[in-house]
Amino acid sequence: MKLTVCSVSEVLPDEQQLVSELLHAGLTCFHLRKPTFSKEEMKRWLEQLPAEEQKQIILHSHWSLADEFELKGLHFGASVLKDMRTEEQQDWWLYAKKKGLTISSSVHDQEEIHRLPLGVDEVWLSPIYESISKAGYQAAFTASQFDTWTKNIQQQKQAKVFALGGVKAEHLNELKQRGFYGAVALGTVWKDIQGLKDKEILKQRIEQLIALCQTNITS
């Protein structure tokens, strides 16, 4: 099972150094989501990460920065795709293919799944569990519905499905059994992390999650 980690939306002290700790511990993919960042702010953030580690970053906005950095991929959220013209979407798909970038997206209900275009490599389905990072943000659908949607995305959209929302270490075995390709960790990694002073806690968390993702399914 594959693990990916998403950034917190706000600015975190020593964040690039903490991301380096995650990557050194074995994480192979990090999603950079900073919804309030300007393009220049995003560029400055990336510049503070070693070039070799920039190759593991997937951007959630300001995708044209892939012209200036060697990145792993681009993420287009459901709301972004909804407002994007077909021609613009096709241009980004061609852009990503030309540069060898992965394309990912996120969906929260059946309508967004139906609207999801072909050509997306990975899809985040959420919220699977009650969110750790967003108080009161709970799963609004049954496990059966999520499992059906997972199969639909895999079969109809030919994309790999990741579980997002409240994912903890104790959920990983269940998610494997339910057919998820991977899991997205956010709150379970970043909760109460306030800077480099907490790097050992962060390292322990990511190492545990990676180990569990690599463990075979048990009944």
The tens digit of pLDDT for each residue in 82-107 reads 999 999 999 999 999 999 999 999 99
**How does pLDDT run across 31-47, given as a tens digit for each residue?**
999 999 999 999 999 99
**What is the residue whose two structure tokens read 């997937």?**
58
Q: Give the model confidence (pLDDT) of 1-16 as tens digits.
A: 999 999 999 999 999 9
Cα distance between residue 56 and residue 6, in whole Å: 12
Residue 18, SS3? helix
Q: Give domain status of residue 82, yes or no.
A: yes
Q: How distant is the alpha carbon of residue 134 from its chain centre? A: 16
User: What is the number of structural domains in the chain?
Assistant: 1
pLDDT tens digit string along 163-218? 999 999 999 999 999 999 999 999 999 999 999 999 999 999 999 999 999 987 66
CATH number of the domain enclosing 128: 3.20.20.70
Evaluate whether residue 151 is within a structural domain: yes
Residue among 106, 122, 104, 114 nearest 156 (CA)? 114
- 219 located within any domain: no
